[in-house]
Amino acid sequence: MPLNEEIVRYISLVRKDGGEPVLGITFREMNVDPDLVASFVLAIVIFENQQLRTFIKEGYVVVIEEGNHVVGLLIIDKVEDDEPYREALKGIIADFETKYELQLTLWRGDIRPFREFGIDILGVFPYRRFDWQLVPNLTKKSDAMPDYQEKIPWSVGEANKKIQAVVGFINGKRTIKEIVESSGYSEAELTAIFSMLDQYKWITLSRRATKDTVLVKLTNTPKRLIGVYGDQLDGFVEMCDGVRTLEQVCELVPFDLEVLMTIAKNLIDAGVLGYSEQSSEGGGSTG
């Protein structure tokens, strides 16, 4: 059975000897405090030394697995079979303990080195999965939009180097798939990185316009774009009726197809045009 990341709510890795949380990620909102649920379960597992593998609270399932050094808790919505999620959690714990064997054995109380493991967890349970034909665009940090480009808590150490390398490939033209093929990183790493970039508002995502793309007008054309492309831009926008392809529109306007696709992308990014449901090429997110 494949994993459904949309039901994953929270994951926490906690040191067995002292009960200190070493890493936790909240994926989606819950109607109970996940930290309180985790604390309650850990008290039973660690301090009362009970063998507890599953705990149900407020409609959520807490999947529990123990490693040599840490206890892993995974909170998910109720499912008929939690075994695939348990196996994924076991893999995360095994990788974590292998990577940080020395720090866990010679415990010094500093949990900061563990933050970069967020990229490994998000490679298994990303915030979202995307159609790899989407084109990422970097958002511009602005005082008027303080929530844009929030700090990514997992962007430290080696994870930060990988994130910055991927950001360097983003130019508003390459698809995610093209970046994956050029970067040399694994599919899991790229899944995690784009999941983070989206979650913390570092990117927006759009589809690449092709000759077969069908667009529809969403709003009036801004004057600044008319100033760039001329009055004929309004005529082009009006011809995007949700039926004609860009190739068909191209026959009716004074732009060649390559120029028209560039203009279309700018109008999509500006919110003037949107993709019609009739468009056949991939887009949107999955998972």
Q: State pLDDT tens for residues 211-241.
A: 888 999 988 888 888 888 788 888 899 999 9
Half-sphere exposure of 263 (CA within 13 A, CB side): 26
Residues pairing with 142 in the sheet? 145
117 and 139 share one domain: no
Question: In this structure, what token pair is assigned to residue 163?
Answer: 């994130």
Question: pLDDT tens, 152-201?
Answer: 999 999 999 999 999 999 988 899 999 999 999 999 999 999 999 999 98
Based on the domain organization, do 81 and 138 belong to the same domain?
A: no
CATH number of the CATH domain containing 32: 3.30.450.60
- Pair 146, 198 in one domain: yes
For the record, the structure tokens of 106 come out as 């010679």
Q: Name the domain count of the chain.
A: 3
Task: Give the per-residue pLDDT at 91.
Answer: 98
Average pLDDT of the chain is 87
Q: Give per-residue pLDDT as tens, 239-267.
A: 999 999 999 999 988 888 888 888 888 88
Which pairs with CB-CB distance under 8 Å and at least 24 residues apart come from 221-226? 221/267, 221/272, 222/270, 222/272, 225/266, 225/267, 225/270, 225/272
**Domain, as residue range, for 200:** 129-207
Q: What's the pLDDT at 142?
A: 59
Most confident of 135-139, 162-166, 282-286: 162-166
Burial status of residue 155 (CB atoms within 10 A of its CB: 0-12, 13-18, 19 or more):
buried
Q: In the β-sheet with 214-217, what is the strand arrangement from edge to edge?
A: 241-245, 214-217, 273-275
